[in-house]
Chain A
Amino acid sequence: MSKLYDYLLLLGDSSMILGHRLSELCGHGPNLETDIALTNISLDLFGQVRNYFQYAAEMKGEEATEDSIAFLRLPHEYRNVLLAEQPNTDFAYIIARQFLFDAYHLPLMEALIESKDEQVAAIAHKSIKEVRYHLRFSSEWVKRLGDGTEVSHQKMQEAIDYLWPYTKELFEETPLEAAMKTEGIGADLNALKVKYDAHVQGVLAEATINIPETPFAHSGGKNGIHTEHLGFLLADLQYMQRAYPNMAW
């Protein structure tokens, strides 16, 4: 398959896996309003994934569909960032994960609207307003919890400390991303990092959350090397298609 095909999967997979994590919360949010908000974000992400995968399926031809791409790959074939697959430990983790991802996702979309590939640019154009709201929502909650009560502050700090080592991977350029950047289709991750740092540092300062100083970082997701969580997530996500091949609603 072409590099663009792989790049579409890399873009789509992070949104899909994070969208799935959020969908697990449907009916389990801390209150009705937040439950709906998180499910809305999940649906936005799934909408974006459909665009990426429909385009990819068209490119692949044969029998490929958005569903076969979404449901019928093995864990090492998923290219999502490790951050996206981290579990819903508690509300602070859910918000911290969302915030760190959104802060990367928005500048990514801002870069991709300039993509030389018209379809990629169109998908980014359609997604950007959704993502802008996601970032606004998650930033607001990071501030609320961080600068809230003693307990909420402690939980937010713990979540940021735990997830921080997964953020370096967002900006580690894989050979695929380097090639896409050179072709003018993909984003320049170094340029994203500048916007990401400015936003994250600003919000965390307002939230009175300390930026972890650990030099340790996890990576591998974009190359198909995942944490143990992805296997369990996919077992759930793929169950219907694996148990009843080709089933449709």
Chain B
Amino acid sequence: MKKEWPIWEVFIRSKNGLEHRHVGSLHAADETMAIENARDVYTRRQEGVSIWVVESKHITASNPDNNGEMFEPAKDKAYRHPTFYDLPVELKHM
């Protein structure tokens, strides 16, 4: 093969009602092949009911060099977690 196939990111929904989650990546020549390869590589043990694929180059990622200003300021802001409310006892599954 002169040219490598591009890389695709694979997202699987494990059952209806749940979200698609990233499970890994694979090589494929186009989207049809990417879906088929994802089916064979990632759902052979009943892992899913739906597959999304997206070519990796279409994903914009944050730069790890900027992790300091990106993520550290959130560290000391525990009050942003909604854990300071008293919930009524009737309210379940929160």
Residues of A within 8 A of B (CB): 30-34, 36-37, 40, 133, 136-137, 140, 144
Contact = CB atoms under 8 A, between A and B. Distances in A.
Interface stretch (B34-42, B70-78, B79-87): B34-42
Contact of A144 (B26, B27, B29, B40): B29
Contact of A31 (B27, B36, B39): B27
B28 interface: yes
B32 A33 contact: no
A140 B36 contact: yes
Nearest to A34: B37
A166 B5 CA distance: 33
5 contacts: A32-B26, A33-B26, A33-B27, A140-B33, A144-B33
Contacts, number: 29
A34 B29 CA distance: 12
Interface in B4-40: 5, 26-29, 32-33, 36-37, 39-40
A33 B29 contact: no
Nearest to B28: A33
B44 interface: yes
A110 to B, nearest CB: 22
B33 to A, nearest CB: 7
Given A137-B36, A140-B32, A140-B36, A36 B41 contact: yes
A33 B44 contact: no
Contacts of B36: 37, 136-137, 140
A31 B3 CA distance: 13
Nearest to A30: B1
Nearest to A143: B32
**Could you say which of A31, A133, A140 has the most chain B C-beta atoms within 10 Å of its C-beta?**
A31
Contacts of A32: 26-27, 41
A133 B44 CA distance: 13
A37 B32 contact: no
Contacts of A34: 37
B40 A40 contact: yes
A78 B33 CA distance: 35
Contacts of B39: 133
A37 B26 CA distance: 13
Nearest to A31: B27
**Could you say which of A33, A37, A137, A144 has the most chain B C-beta atoms within 10 Å of its C-beta?**
A33
A140 B40 CA distance: 14
A37 B40 contact: yes
B44 A40 contact: yes
Interface string B38-53: 0111001000000000
A65 B40 CA distance: 31
B56 to A, nearest CB: 15
A221 to B, nearest CB: 29
A33 B30 CA distance: 13
A36 B29 contact: no
